[in-house]
Amino acid sequence: MAKCPDTTSWTAHFNNMVMGNEKLRAFIDFEQSFVGGDIGEGPVDENNWMNCFHGESECDGHAIMLCAKELSNSSYDWFDMVVCMDGKDGLPGVTYNNSYSIPQIAPSCSAQVNLDWDAISACASSPLGAQLLHDSHYNTMNLFEAHGGYSPEGHGYKPPLIPNIWIFDSNTNLPTQYNNKFVTAEDPYVDLLQRICAAASPSDPDLPPECL
């Protein structure tokens, strides 16, 4: 959810703890997937995938962020645009109809990270943008179905189960899910760097010093 403060505040935390470090940024493989559905919080089908919990502006934000990644020439400048759109501590972007709201802030954020706003905007309003949005919403549903289903059934995105973070073990390719900030062992904010390092292979020659 691009306009959910639980999601955007985690993204800011992730940026501060991990992505702001060039060695860690180069080491990890980070993907972001968005949610859709009848009320934007559960399974999708061909009749409801285009809906978002926080309305049309959130879907616009999803499409813009997905197009930024699609058109990006470097590994994570699209992520830097997402962080910029979220705003300080991940909060300004979740507002509505301000210059710093999602999606209004997008043009200035694309300029800040040297991405072509005209190309991103054209993508977001095109069939390609719609396809990227469709596929992202479906991908999130498939992640839930493949790794434990929804809790409660049919509603995988209700607080406090936001955001849903999966960290995949590099040896087994099996994920551990973190999505409940009221349970320490499941809190996506707790020991984030340590959890990422623990999922890496200790024999990986590219293991960053922070994981040694």
Residue pLDDT tens, the chain, 212 long? 899 998 999 999 999 999 999 999 999 999 999 988 877 777 889 999 999 989 999 999 999 999 999 999 878 999 999 999 999 999 999 999 999 999 999 999 999 999 999 999 999 999 999 999 999 999 988 888 887 666 656 555 555 577 889 999 998 988 998 988 889 999 999 999 999 999 999 888 999 999 98
Per-residue pLDDT of 66-118, as tens digits, reads: 999 999 987 899 999 999 999 999 999 999 999 999 999 999 999 999 999 99
Rounded to the nearest 5 percent, the helix, strand and coil shares of the chain are: 50, 5, 50
Question: Do 110 and 120 touch, CB atoms closer than 8 A?
Answer: yes
* In the chain, alpha helices (H): 5-14, 22-27, 56-71, 77-86, 106-112, 117-124, 127-146, 192-199
* pTM across the whole model: 0.92
